[in-house]
């Protein structure tokens, strides 16, 4: 019983801070998206392709979450996009307080879209509201067809699912249409896109989705 109470207290405190972040984003007119997915699903690669295709049109800032290193933040900096690295040192997700502190280091007066790239994980990030406007899950075709059913809560509460690495479909024993049907069965309101960060296929449609949410 004590353990359950502690977890509830942690989530309650996080929710209060998330609401504060959300009010801040609304006041500033910023679209904040929580980008989630497994390690290696292609979250950072998606951002790189997004910046290439949307340069000059949309003003981005990024919060990068990882257990250790600043490798992904360095990849983002190459595009001239403001970025803050958060290392959780073993924590499996970002929380609203971490995001709130990172906001102070970003030029948000000149930002249209804030991307919060969460720690690579299909479990823990689903429980923690960061104050985001939208939740986006990146799933790679190399992860197989069963990930959505095995980790349903990540997809149930997302606004968008991006199926990445579709250029590898001929080499994987998976069906992109079956993956899509499974995702929509769990969340009928889920927007679903197929992209390849290698070829750029589908990136423009993804950018159109972002512009529409703005």
The predicted pLDDT at position 43 comes to 98
- Per-residue model confidence as pLDDT tens for the chain (214 residues): 444 454 567 788 999 999 999 999 999 999 999 999 999 999 999 999 999 997 678 999 999 999 999 999 999 999 999 999 999 999 999 999 999 999 999 999 999 999 999 999 999 999 999 999 999 999 999 999 999 999 999 999 999 999 999 999 999 999 999 999 999 999 999 999 999 999 999 999 999 999 999 8
Q: Please give the Cα distance from 122 to 48 (Å, whole number).
A: 22
What residue spans define the domains of the chain? 2-213
Q: What pLDDT score was predicted for residue 11?
A: 83
Q: Locate 192 and state its tokens.
A: 């679903």
Query: Hey, is 115 helix, strand or coil?
Result: strand
- Give the per-residue pLDDT at 57: 83
Helix (H) / strand (E) element for 28: namely helix 2-28
CA–CA distance, 89 with 68 (Å, rounded to integer):
6
Sheet holding 31-37: strands in order across?
Answer: 83-87, 60-66, 113-117, 31-37, 134-140, 160-164, 191-194
Q: Spell out the residues 6+ positions from residue 201 whose beta carbon is closer than 8 angstroms to its own.
A: 166, 167, 194, 195
User: Three-class SS of residue 151?
Assistant: coil
Q: What architecture (CATH level 2) is domain 2-213?
A: 3-Layer(aba) Sandwich (3.40)
Range list of β-strands (E), the chain: 31-37, 60-66, 83-87, 113-117, 134-140, 160-164, 191-194
**What per-residue confidence (pLDDT) applies to 5?**
56
Nearest to 192 by CA among 145, 134, 138: 138
């Amino acid at each position: 019983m004590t353990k359950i109470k502690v977890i509830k207290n942690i989530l309650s405190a996080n929710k209060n801070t998330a609401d504060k972040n959300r009010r801040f984003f609304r006041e500033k007119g910023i679209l904040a998206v929580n980008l989630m997915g497994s390690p290696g699903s292609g979250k950072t690669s998606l951002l790189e392709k997004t910046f290439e295709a949307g340069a000059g049109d949309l003003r981005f800032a990024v919060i990068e979450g990882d257990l250790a290193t600043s490798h992904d933040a360095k990849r983002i900096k190459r595009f001239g996009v403001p970025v803050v690295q958060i290392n959780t040192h073993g924590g499996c997700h970002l929380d609203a307080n971490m995001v709130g502190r990172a906001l102070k280091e970003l030029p948000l007066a000149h930002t249209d879209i804030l991307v919060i790239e969460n720690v690579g994980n299909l479990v823990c990030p689903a429980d923690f509201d960061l104050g985001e406007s939208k939740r986006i899950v990146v799933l790679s075709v190399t992860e197989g067809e069963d990930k959505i059913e095995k980790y349903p809560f990540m997809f149930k509460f997302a606004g968008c699912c991006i199926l990445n690495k579709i250029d590898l479909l001929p080499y994987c024993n998976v069906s992109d249409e079956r993956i899509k049907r499974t995702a929509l069965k769990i969340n009928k309101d889920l927007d679903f896109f197929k992209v390849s960060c290698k070829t750029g296929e589908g990136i423009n449609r993804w950018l159109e989705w972002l512009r529409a949410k703005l």
